[in-house]
Amino acid sequence: MIIKPSTALRNDYGSISDLAHKEDIPIYITKNGEGDLVIMSIDAFERREEVLKLRAKLAAAEQSRLSGQPAVSIEESRKRLEEIYGQNV
């Protein structure tokens, strides 16, 4: 975990930006000794968003499975893919 004071952000934005890209993890910014902001590179943010979307889809699929909704077997899925793509998958 990287923690920096808000003065570092204000006085040396370039090094904070470089650090965010180099470390590829969130940087926590404090204000008056208290947590205030989290900064990360756009690439790290977009990857995080994709992971969160995938987790939400997996949670919804698991909820469907637990509620007893019909499922598709691996064999059925493979047949469907072969029909779509016309080859062995």
3-state helix, strand, coil in the chain (%, to 5): 60, 15, 20
How far from chain centre, in Å, is Cα 12? 28
What's the rounded Cα separation, in Å, for the pair 46 and 61? 23
* Region for 23 from its dihedrals, namely left if φ exceeds 0, alpha if ψ lies in -120 to 50, beta otherwise: alpha
pLDDT, tens digit only, all 89 positions of the chain:
999 999 999 999 999 999 999 998 999 999 999 999 999 999 999 999 999 999 999 999 999 989 999 888 899 999 999 999 987 65
